[in-house]
Amino acid sequence: MKALVTGGGGFLGGVIVRMLRERGDEVKSFSRGAHPSLSQLGVEQIRGDLAKRDQLIKAAEGCDIIFHVAAKAGIWGGYDDFYNANVTGTVNVLAACRANDISRLVYTGSPSVVFDGNDLEGGDESLPYPLHYEAHYPQTKAMAEQIVLDADSSSLATVSLRPHLIWGPGDNHLVPRIIAKARAGKLRRIGTKPCLVDTVYVDNAAQAHLLAADRLEPGGSVAGKSYFITNDEPLPLWEMVNHILAAAGLPPETRSIPPQLAYTAGAICEGLWNLLRLSGEPPMTRFVAKELSTAHWFNINAARSDLGYAPQISIAEGLRHLRQWLATAGS
């Protein structure tokens, strides 16, 4: 198989690329920057921007499948930036599939597309998209996912995987953010309710992508569907955060602020950052306040039965790998 992985130099993309190479697939990666680790894996790197359709069409030449992993993630930024990378970029990936007669597209979605600010406990893929989003990231990821699923046809099979809160060695989002806040003395629990949240170790999330690719074919049972991907080990959110802190050699966080206060602070910060055009991320947003004070865990029976997915690395084992990584390269 010859695969194009968009964002193959990123956190999740890097593990997908490694697994594809380990089983002997040919891989090209598409991203704006250069990622030296990819060359060591024998991956052809193509530099380009998702917003440039011609660059994607050229990059996908000769490929059998695209893993569209690249996206603009994050809690803050301009709507146009999110839209261009996540929505226009996805439309362009679909154009690259069609221009090159590629019949399979595995898209990396996000469970945040169904998050409406309330507890989500054990829901499955029948959960609806909410009418309103409190951040550009989930909104544009939801738009992109619908475009991907609507594009499923007799000549192009598409599937969307929704990995929930990916973590592990190489993490450049969740883990470093938690550790930096804790080290700066700025981490606080939001509320005292023990909200269950599930997460996914990065290798499990990557494995799900390969399983989906192998089962994906036009008209097949996986085509046109979305799947939640988790470790299926929901834990109280702050227990998980404290495990990550422990892996970094930091004490558990016990101080808390009321959820309503965090939400109000988020609204004020967003207003100030917009009004004064402040650089960097606000310390709190409404979306983050809700995410950190509600339960969100999902039923992964569909991924288990349709994809044959089963998490191979438990949270306990993943934490051992994380601790090792943080002690060497990651901190």
Ligand X SMILES: NC(=O)c1ccc[n+]([C@@H]2O[C@H](COP(=O)([O-])OP(=O)(O)OC[C@H]3O[C@@H](n4cnc5c(N)ncnc54)[C@H](OP(=O)(O)O)[C@@H]3O)[C@@H](O)[C@H]2O)c1
How many other CB atoms are there within 10 angstroms of residue 79's CB atom?
10
For ligand X, the binding residue among 60, 66, 142, 165 (CB under 6 A) is 165
Of the listed 83, 137, 201, 227, which one is catalytic? 137
Phi, psi of 200 (to 5 degrees): -140, 130
Closest distance between ligand X and the C-beta of residue 60, in Å?
A: 13
User: Nearer to ligand X by C-beta: 33 or 251?
Assistant: 33
Three-state SS sequence of 47-68: ECCCCCHHHHHHHCCCCCEEEE
Closest CA to 200 of 175, 174, 165, 251: 165
Sequence-separated (6 or more) residues with CB below 8 Å from residue 162:
109, 110, 111, 113, 226, 227, 228, 229, 298
Collapsed DSSP state (helix, strand, coil) of residue 4: strand
Per CB under 6 A, 110 contacts ligand X: yes
For ligand X, the binding residue among 49, 116, 121, 253 (CB under 6 A) is 49
Collapsed DSSP state (helix, strand, coil) of residue 93: helix
Window contacting ligand X (CB under 6 A); options: 18-26, 27-35, 57-65, 93-101: 27-35
Window contacting ligand X (CB under 6 A); options: 71-79, 149-157, 180-188, 265-273: 71-79
Per CB under 6 A, 206 contacts ligand X: no
Closest distance between ligand X and the C-beta of residue 161, in Å?
A: 8
Task: Give yes or no: 83 in active site.
Answer: no
Per CB under 6 A, 175 contacts ligand X: no
Give the total of residues touching ligand X (CB under 6 A).
Answer: 28
**How far, in Å, CA of 44 to CA of 66, rounded?**
14
Closest distance between ligand X and the C-beta of residue 204, in Å?
A: 12
Is residue 219 within 8 A of residue 185, CB to CB? The reply is no
For ligand X, the binding residue among 66, 73, 156, 175 (CB under 6 A) is 73
235-236/196-197 β-pairing: antiparallel
For ligand X, the binding residue among 27, 63, 87, 166 (CB under 6 A) is 166
Question: Closest residue (Cβ) to ligand X?
Answer: 10
Radius of gyration (Cα) for the chain, nearest Å? Answer: 19
What residues does 3 pair with on adjacent strands? 27, 65
Collapsed DSSP state (helix, strand, coil) of residue 324: helix
Give me the amino acid identity at 3: A
User: Nearer to ligand X by C-beta: 84 or 264?
Assistant: 84
Residues 302-321 that bind ligand X (CB under 6 A): none
Which residues are tagged catalytic? 137
Site of interaction with ligand X (CB under 6 A): 7, 9-13, 31-33, 49-51, 69-73, 85, 89, 108, 110, 141, 163, 165-166, 172-174
